Structure 1
């Protein structure tokens, strides 16, 4: 039974409506520059993939795949192919491409599914990141810091060693990548002019460095993917009619019997913590240098703490209906299946089939795509780490929960301010 807005607000901790003060200030001129950079393949080693390839407007800031097809792939979204000949992909991206909604909020202080980037003074540059002490100084937000890390990743944007100067630099040391990228960008006359217009400390194009690129990308992401105009947001602001009857019942379950809000709490619908859900494993895994076999230990890969094994960050839920597949590896294509997994993880894991994964075929990778499932010891280790307990709900309850999750879709989520640019200053093709 739904108790009504006032009664429910008294019994549970409903979030407050998001307002401007909850977000970092964004420079609109920098955001417009960032839009071009976000879709410009010049930021990649082989100049064949952009940030927008895997975080595309048409797919809710993701790519519609369980595991991404990065450097070497062809196309965009679920139709992206793994490439051909010598340039084909050598490995799938180990995890699902996370959506970008509202990561410009001030409360976001840790990013990526294993939390490998966080606000910290550990390295005296403002962040704890894979770049450690070599992360550039002067990055003003975690948005800017995260924007430049994929450029250094072999299977995301850098490419394979010996293919290009960026990949070669990344093989030497992570910070050797960024001067190369910055020079590529600033010698393009149109970019030089845009940076001079966007940054007070840039008087001539030769002053552009990776921090300016990072800040422009961060400004674009923070502005473009900000979204809190869903029916749920209207309901929080006092409009009792914003949610329909099924969505109201789903909200009651979300904050009540289904226990969703124990993790998906606060105004961003995430506690920014890490949990083990025992999702069906597949793919290459985000292995550490000393891992002898395919696996993904989640947060432990960053913390080196056994207590963090197989735990992944709680995702934020606004516009969740637009960003499938779901889970750290995109194990489930539908919201309903992801809800069912939360309610009964062991049963859903037992019933899961490899064909449920959204993986474009790559015959040369088939031998490792699901090899982890035959590793009995690794499977047992994963099952020994589980932070959710079964909850019994009937079919109508599940339907209502899914309806509520659809009520988190913003009214303007598919009509964002800037969108995909028609072209970019490098002249390279833009993924549409």
Structure 2
């Protein structure tokens, strides 16, 4: 949770009080969403056919993986029990950031995605989006969620694999868009998929017409329709049902202090970027000419010094289901995360590495916390923090936690489609 400036945020309170309805989401085609459900769990989309979108955004873990930093290509298993693999298939790097939640990404108000905001709606490249693919992102992607779905497929340590291991990884290293046609061919030449695309998309007359655009739109339709949530106790409170006493006290604290300044509106996010000073660890997300294992957050996209170490405010809906917390999963509990917001400097000093959920990978151990030995980098990150401490008692923290639990949808763990038992490729489903 990010807490911004002090004071009552009346406008945020009023915006939140409007609530959410099914009409607030991008419309989807059920047949396309069904294809997307299968693709979401089909490892055919990965370079070495050993990982799917669902591996790190699994239904059993509320659309996340329960890890601080994900175990991508080469790992084994699902969720907190996922291991880093063995032998030549073992991972070469941890995923630099925490697997983001999928809840309500299809809401009409969403206009930027990823922790650093590297995907947003824009006409800058003539394809509707400002993205890492720039002008090479193909036209025809129907929404941000569809566009977002394409990027993990070509990320080396997430799903693509390493160069010389497979044709997808090799093509991606030639140019960012070169692997997408290869992935599309893999999918459309599976007869069951080909037939479903012809049936679900009016402009697809034969399987050969299927491109990465239809694949992205199908996955987007699934994510948008599958991960909607607006039936929490808080939503019931908006309709007149009282909250339990601790949650009600927490609600008043939340809206009458500075929490709602950044966690604003129906989705409890301002979709902006803030420097919280979370304890640093992991491989970082290095930029060209900057090989330090750090993560500059928004600055990596804007190249503006004032954006250093800032990350996108996450939505708080179903936040109690999606631990650990922060862009790098630094804190295992909501209580710990709130304490950090209340006094980030003290929390950084008190943080210990055992709070990070990192499956053992002895060959990476030397690098996992190396950045913390760089005293100058730690000082830069500390200096970037703009939040002032706020005094919270243990009772008040407990009440805030109770309110955050009241943002959990009553049907959050019962999704419309869920995890499929099998997929058309015949590959195993995690």
**TM-score tier after normalising by the smaller chain length:** over 0.9
Deviation at 1:135, TM superposition (A): 0.2
Give the equivalent residue in structure 2 for 1:414.
413
Give the equivalent residue in structure 2 for 1:55.
57
Give the equivalent residue in structure 2 for 1:370.
369
Q: Deviations over 1:15-43 (max 9, x none)?
A: 11111232101111111110000000000
Give the equivalent residue in structure 1 for 2:183.
181
CA distance in 2, matches of 1:389, 1:165: 50
CA 1:9 to 1:94, structure 2 compared with 1: closer, same or farther past 3 Å? closer
CA distance in 1, matches of 2:35, 2:141: 17
With normalisation by structure 2, the TM-score equals 0.96
Identify which of 146, 149, 158 aligns with 1:147: 149
Q: Deviations over 1:326-347 (max 9, x none)?
A: 0000000101100111011111
Question: What residue ranges of structure 1 are gaps of 5+ in the alignment?
Answer: 1-7
Give the equivalent residue in structure 1 for 2:5.
none
Give the equivalent residue in structure 1 for 2:402.
403
Deviation at 1:12, TM superposition (A): 4.4
Identify which of 98, 101, 104 aligns with 1:102: 104
SS in 1 for 2:168: helix
CA distance in 2, matches of 1:352, 1:144: 37
CA distance in 1, matches of 2:227, 2:183: 24
Matched, 1:291 2:290: yes
Give the equivalent residue in structure 1 for 2:235.
233
Deviation at 1:197, TM superposition (A): 1.2
Matched, 1:255 2:279: no
Deviation at 1:10, TM superposition (A): 9.7
CA distance in 1, matches of 2:63, 2:42: 16
CA distance in 1, matches of 2:339, 2:362: 31
CA RMSD of aligned residues (A): 1.2
SS in 2 for 1:107: coil
Aligned length: 421
Question: What residue ranges of structure 2 are gaps of 5+ in the alignment?
Answer: 1-8
Pairs within 5 Å for 1:169-208: 169-208=171-210
Q: Deviations over 1:345-396 (max 9, x none)?
A: 1111111101110000100001100000000110011011013211101111
Q: Which moved more, 1:305-314 or 1:21-30?
A: 21-30
CA distance in 2, matches of 1:27, 1:425: 20
Deviation at 1:14, TM superposition (A): 4.9
Deviation at 1:121, TM superposition (A): 0.5
CA 1:247 to 1:14, structure 2 compared with 1: closer, same or farther past 3 Å? farther
Q: Which moved more, 1:42-51 or 1:383-392?
A: 383-392
Retained in 1: the 8 A contact 2:12–2:260?
Answer: no
CA distance in 2, matches of 1:351, 1:311: 21
Deviation at 1:9, TM superposition (A): 7.9
Give the equivalent residue in structure 2 for 1:265.
264
Pairs within 5 Å for 1:31-430: 31-236=33-238, 238-241=239-242, 243-257=243-257, 259-430=258-429
Deviation at 1:420, TM superposition (A): 0.3
Q: Which moved more, 1:350-359 or 1:18-27?
A: 18-27
Q: Deviations over 1:278-301 (max 9, x none)?
A: 000000011112213111000000
CA 1:405 to 1:292, structure 2 compared with 1: closer, same or farther past 3 Å? same
CA distance in 2, matches of 1:141, 1:63: 25
CA distance in 1, matches of 2:275, 2:11: 31
CA 1:12 to 1:205, structure 2 compared with 1: closer, same or farther past 3 Å? closer
